[in-house]
């Protein structure tokens, strides 16, 4: 490339930049925005409430005992298909990403020997009673902060009751329903 062609290209780029800059200056002079003294549309914020402080903790799920009486274990079995990618349910079944869930209802937290539970579950006192399962299935991360279970939870209480009713049947001696 000769020096004359380089000069032509450089001049064209500089001229293009100069035209763009001057167009911006001229546009600002020709089109000056009018700033309003008050908004054209007033938003009523008197009904807006502030959110609850974070110290209150997670919301408690509604009690599951009344729903268990009318729960449908067959619907719970259908719902368990979503869990089958990580869990097995048959007696003596293998562990997957999550533990086998045979006998989980009424069993202790961390009920499978040798499974690598997170400390959030392994160190948790008590058993998987109906209310503990209800709270866990609503939001596992709220019930056991630090759990390795990557599951958002089941929002509908009826769906949780159906699943818990079916899990109850997955045991040698099902735990009696609460009264």
Note the pLDDT tens digit of each residue in 56-77. Answer: 555 678 888 899 989 999 999 9
Task: Judge contact between 170 and 100, C-beta under 8 A.
Answer: no
Domain ranges in the chain are 1-29, 63-169
> Does this model's pTM top 0.85?
no
Residues 10-25, mean pLDDT to the nearest whole number:
95
Average pLDDT, the chain: 87
Dihedral in degrees, nearest 10, Cα atoms 81, 84, 90, 93: 170
Alpha-carbon distance 158 to 179, whole Å? 17
Under DSSP, the state recorded for 106 is T
Q: Which of 100, 121, 96, 124 is nearest to 112 (CA)?
A: 100
142-162: pLDDT as tens digits: 999 988 888 889 999 999 999
Which residues neighbour 147 within 8 Å (Cβ) at sequence distance 6 or greater? 118, 120, 121, 140, 141
pLDDT, tens digit (0-9, with 9 covering 90-100), for 112-135: 888 999 999 989 999 999 999 999
**For residue 179, is pLDDT > 90?**
no
Two structure tokens written together for 98:
């999550």
What pLDDT sits at residue 160? Answer: 93
Q: Select 63-169's CATH number: 3.40.50.300, 2.60.120.10, 1.10.760.10, 3.30.429.10.
A: 1.10.760.10
């Amino acid at each position: 490339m000769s020096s004359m062609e380089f000069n032509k290209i450089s001049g064209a780029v500089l001229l293009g930049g100069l035209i763009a800059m001057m167009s911006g200056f001229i546009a600002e002079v020709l089109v000056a925005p009018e700033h309003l003294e008050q908004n054209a549309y007033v938003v009523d914020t008197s009904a807006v409430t502030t959110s609850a402080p974070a110290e209150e903790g997670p919301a408690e799920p509604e009690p599951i005992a009344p729903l268990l009486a009318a729960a449908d274990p067959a619907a719970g079995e259908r719902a368990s298909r979503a869990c089958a990618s990580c869990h097995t349910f048959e007696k003596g079944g293998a562990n997957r990403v999550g533990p086998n869930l045979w006998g989980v209802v009424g069993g202790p937290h961390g009920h499978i020997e040798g499974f690598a539970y997170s400390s959030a579950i392994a160190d948790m006192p008590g058993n998987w009673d109906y209310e503990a399962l209800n709270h866990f299935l609503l939001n596992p991360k709220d019930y056991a902060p630090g759990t390795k279970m990557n599951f958002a939870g089941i929002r509908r209480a009826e769906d949780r009751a159906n699943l818990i009713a079916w899990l109850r049947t997955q045991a040698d001696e099902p735990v009696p329903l609460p009264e």
